[in-house]
Structure 1
Amino acid sequence: MTEKPSPVVRITYCTQCQWLLRAGWMAQELLSTFDADLREVVLVPGTGGIFTITCDGSLIWDRKRDGGFPDAAKLKQLVRDVIDPERDLGHTDRKHRASTPD
């Protein structure tokens, strides 16, 4: 039985908008949380106001579609939902669940 390869996260950011620092910060947040669970986090320069995040080829965030940028907690939840839906993110999940009405 072969083991599934670790996921890849791609953050495509607009160089014209100077979003490299934002993309780098998000990459750092993901690597700090999912260090051994990700194969790599790739920063991809783009233009035209693009800011998208994919995980294993699935689009999980698009600035234009989703209305801005995700905060760190939301981004971690989106990645977790793709790579390991059962994983508990600790305080990130508790804060999210407390603010979600039942």
Structure 2
Amino acid sequence: MEEPKNANKINIDLPEDIAEGIYSNLAIITHSHAEFIIDFVKLMPGAPKAKVKSRIILTPEHAKRLYKALQDNVKKFEAIHGIIKESKDGGLPPFSLGGPTAQA
């Protein structure tokens, strides 16, 4: 008896509100012995504090799978679009939160 061709396919529902995505310009990663926690944060100029916009909790195994998938996709992206340049400041936005702001 032959196995169905779609035996390993997963049917995924993507609701409209999730499909729009959430902007984040900072990720904070912490971990324990049992899980990895990734907080996606949005930093905005002049805002009194940054906000966590989304939190993802992964098992160590799934965190490693995500790591490998990101590596693979960055390689594919760079093969098409060229090397991604990293900023010298570690990629943090060039502003302070809650501090003095420049005036023009």
TM-score range, shorter chain: under 0.3
Structure of greater relative contact order (alpha carbons < 8 Å, 6+ residues apart): 1
TM-score (norm 1): 0.24
TM-score (norm 2): 0.24
Tell me which protein shows more helix as a share of its residues: 1
